[in-house]
Amino acid sequence: MQIISENLFLLLCLISSTCFLVFITVRFLRISTRSAMLPPGPSRLPIIGNIHQVGKLPHRSFADLSRKYGPIMHLKFGRLNTVIVTSPEAAREVLKTHDQTLSGRDPPNSIRSINHDKVSVGWLHPSSPRWRLLRKLLVTHMFSPQRIEATKALRLEKVQDLVSYIDESSEREEAVHISRASFTTTLNIISNILFSVDLASYGSEKSNEFRDSVIVGMEAAGSPDLSNFFPCLRFLDLQGNTKKMKFSTDNLLKVFRGFIDTKTLEKSLGNNPKDASNSDFLDALLDEAELDNTDIEHLLLDMFTAGTETSSSTLEWAMTELLTNPKTMEKAQAEIEHMIEKNGFVREPDTSEIPYLQAVVKETFRLHPTIPLLLPRKAETDVEVLGYVVPKDAQVLVNLWAIGRDPNVWENPTRFEPERFLGKETDVKGRDFELTPFGAGRRICPGLPLAVKTVSLMLVSLLYSFDWKLPNAFDMDETFGITLRKANPLHAVPVKKNRHYTFLLFCLIASCFLVFITARFRRVSCLTATLPPGPPRLPFIGNIHQVGKNPHRSFADLSKTYGPVMSLKLGSLKSVIISSPEAAREVLRTHDQILSSRKSTDSIRSFGHHEVSVIWLPPSARWRMLRKLSITQLFSPQRMEATKGLRMKKVQELVSFMNERSEKEDAVDISRASFTTVLNIISNILFSVDLGSYDVTSKSNRFRDTVIAAMEAAGKPDTANYFPFLGFLDLQGNRKNMKTCTERLFRVFRGFIDAKMTEKSLTNYKDVSDSDFLDALLVLMEGDETELDNNDIEHLLLDMFAAGTDTSSSTLEWAMAELLNNPKSLARAQAEIDCVIGQNGIVQESDISYLPYLQAVVKETFRLHPAAPFLVPRKAEADVKVLGFMVPKDAQVLVNVWAIGRDPAVWENPNRFEPERFLGKETDVKGRDYELTPFGAGRRICPGLPLAVVTVSLMLASLLYFFDWKLPNGVAFEDLDMDETFGITLHKTNMLHAVPVKKRTHK
């Protein structure tokens, strides 16, 4: 028995030893065989491997290494196995032959840090049902041929906006930041497809911030990062990419959440069910039961990051290459001119019939692929590519940049030669592996059709409408991230093209000849014959009897009979009334220089204000100096940012006052309360003190009454304006009222001026950061050659208070009156604010940009109740034609913005308060849309526009967030009157009193 046991033991030992030897041998043979078949690559250093060879521009570093080690190259970055592919043949193997095995992703640490790899269509594995669902949604609702066709008009509209913006820059001979401008265009195209709204406007801080957030996110995702090479170091975030990514995505996701919350609320309330044909991409996502808000937010993040910066960067590179190669630009422009002449304007279908332009776009994709290494792929198993083993879990990078510059594939590979694509079928659709800027196979970018059409349409439009010149030298340096951008942005000066030169020259010569022959005879007869039409005049008084107490309404009624350019004779005063957007454009933009003087009223002239006021002075050196002071010291982006905390503080004081009245269930005079808020904002900016108090017995109420009385005296119809020789009689008492009001105000201003001058004489130092506007003005009084005296300063301060206080408080009062008159609009505005701010927050200025319906409410208020219904009267410096009619020299020109805002030819349901009309539209109040110009336009646009809009919006949002509202004494909303009192500003005749009902506690 013992012998058998010993033999058994020996047998087991023998078997075990044999198995171990076999295991060791097989493993050794497998490793040695696999090592022998791995792609070649440079030698590695201990621990770090080849990290030292990555460099700041990995696509270039890898291209240089591939010249030595071949088109399939193996590198080791710390613990990360990486295979670099740099030939069309190897790319075909990766992107097509072994697409299934190599279609996984190896997300960088910055992507993992926000969990984007778990929900993103760009990073999820294609085998997952979630990836297939998300990709199907994209293709069906955004990038299908039907959707691309359905959004064609939108793309054309947004590209025309780009052309208009560049046209304005051309007139000013200003250089255009090509990437920023094209980013705004692409952003608005995509935001309209996704949300049915514009997210940006040209030159705005908002669009620049959005673009910067996208760029920071792309760089954080693509920059070399030690956390990707040594996962154990992730918590250190040595390159700061995790921090940058979180900051970037937090900014973007906050925008998306605002839209999601608003749409969700609308759906839950059942308000205005949307026609399916008008639904946007977000509507489709919210109808998808398998998606939650996180899925939607990250899918939107994919859309914006993949669709905005990529297209704008491609356009920038295309323009850079064309400016570097003038002959190529000339050839492209000549082809475009020939094609477009058939229609006279650019259409999207035209781009497919311009082969050289298509070749320019392809050549740009070849030399400057937006994503130079595509997104990193991951090998699911060992796989053989061109005879080499790509090991399981290896990262696979396709170096498109190197393939696009491979001398074995392209002749003169580093030259920009679009001709190489003419007569060839090579395209970017993933079939030709020497040119795959959008990838290929199942992971090809689904947005390819939209990107190509958008870039082509923008490029055609810019080359057709303008010639281009450079303000200074430029380079071709790159900045690497997931996308490849120009390190130094391209700035170029657009030069508007003049067409048909010969014909124009002939017309000019012929016109000069005719003018020379017939000048004397035709001048008088022509002027009389082409004056604008108007109602018959009575002897001596002309049309004075037709002015009425509310001239804006009287003139609007007359314009229905006599047209949008109408001539009236008010005593001896020739007046032309403008009441259409087209005519307003002519006055405020086309003939801005001739029509930029002022026709001051008798009450303004009575105390010499027209000689020193930035509002009433004609354009002159003094006017430019005063306007520059106002902008740099009060309304510049830097000053607006510096005074943001002050505005927040004063609006919170308004909320506190409302809280007290709410507890007592007292009605509030909305205009007086908001006037106090605005007064304190402005007085702190000017003097660093509060001038107002919410106490009804305080002097601030007297200050308000004084400002309103002065505005009425300046704007009311006055016999002295029509018959200047009767001015001394002061029949309406406007001179007397104006003198009383201005003396009161000047006494206040003189007190501050004297106090400041005394302070300056007693001390020689004041911290610049603590200086206010008055300090800045007093500095200009120092020295031998002073630019300002006390009188100038007093009148400038008068302008600031008159233009800035009553206008904003009146606008807020009208907004609240309209909302109380339209409970559904009030409920929708409050729901939107609650969604964005949450239940226990405070409204910040930065929140306003995420409240599209609130912004629409403010615009709708400006439309129906412009603060200055005629703007400030203009004066013709010479005879000038407006829409074919002659405006005679010295005529007063009034732009009836009140009538334009209620014109049924411009607005649907013009007399209804419908903020929805502005949703999804780019119309704003910045002087570019002549159907809505409450602040004017051109060189005389109100410089205080930024402060007014943000102040009104912040006050309105805060009042709607913290309180519900009811009318006192059981008055029904429908019984609220909307009567007006006319002056330079338009007031509610009967002040709005409303009772605040506290919704939440104010912190």
- List the binding residues for heme: 942
Distance between CA atoms of 110 and 2, rounded to whole angstroms?
A: 67
Tell me, what DSSP letter sits at residue 963? Answer: E
Distance between CA atoms of 462 and 496, rounded to whole angstroms?
A: 10
Distance set, CA 802 to CA 640, 696, 705, 907, 990 (Å): 20, 21, 11, 31, 21
Closest by Cα among 903, 905, 953 to 925: 953
Tokens standing for 801? 């208070």
Looking up tokens 């190259």 gives 73
Distance between CA atoms of 554 and 543, rounded to whole angstroms?
A: 11
Residues 6+ apart with CB under 8 A from 879: 527, 886, 887, 888, 889
Distance between CA atoms of 870 and 893, rounded to whole angstroms?
A: 9
Distance between CA atoms of 519 and 296, rounded to whole angstroms?
A: 69
Greatest CA separation found in the chain? 146
Tokens standing for 299? 């899918």
Element of type H or E holding 832: helix 823-837
- Can you say which residues are annotated as belonging to the binding site? 942
Read off φ and ψ for residue 84, nearest 5 degrees: -105, 130
CA trace torsion 699, 701, 702, 706 (10° rounding): 140
Distance between CA atoms of 604 and 610, rounded to whole angstroms?
A: 6
Closest by Cα among 706, 807, 695, 710 to 748: 706
Q: What is the SS3 assignment for 252? A: helix
Amino acid identity of 706?
T
Distance set, CA 998 to CA 165, 656, 677, 833, 1001 (Å): 45, 11, 19, 15, 7
CA trace torsion 863, 868, 869, 871 (10° rounding): -110
Spell out the SS3 assignment of 511-557. HHHHHHHHHHHHHHHHHHHCCCCCCCCECCCECHHHCCCCHHHHHHH
Tell me, what DSSP letter sits at residue 49? Answer: B
Find residue 538's DSSP bridge partners.
542
Q: 652-680 burial, b for 16+ CB within 10 Å, e for fewer? A: bbbbebbbebbeeeebbbbbbbbbbbbbb
Find residue 882's DSSP bridge partners.
885
Beta strands in 140-213 (DSSP E): 176-177
Distance between CA atoms of 53 and 962, rounded to whole angstroms?
A: 59
Q: What is the CA radius of gyration of the chain?
A: 35
Residues 6+ apart with CB under 8 A from 484: 59, 313, 368, 369, 370, 371, 372, 401, 478
Distance between CA atoms of 454 and 447, rounded to whole angstroms?
A: 11
Distance between CA atoms of 650 and 958, rounded to whole angstroms?
A: 11
Distance between CA atoms of 881 and 498, rounded to whole angstroms?
A: 21
Looking at the chain, the number of H-run helices and the number of E-run strands are 36, 24
Measured between alpha carbons, how far apart are the two ends of the chain, in Å? 92
Spell out the SS3 assignment of 862-892. HHHCCCCCCCCCEECCCCEEECCEEECCCCE
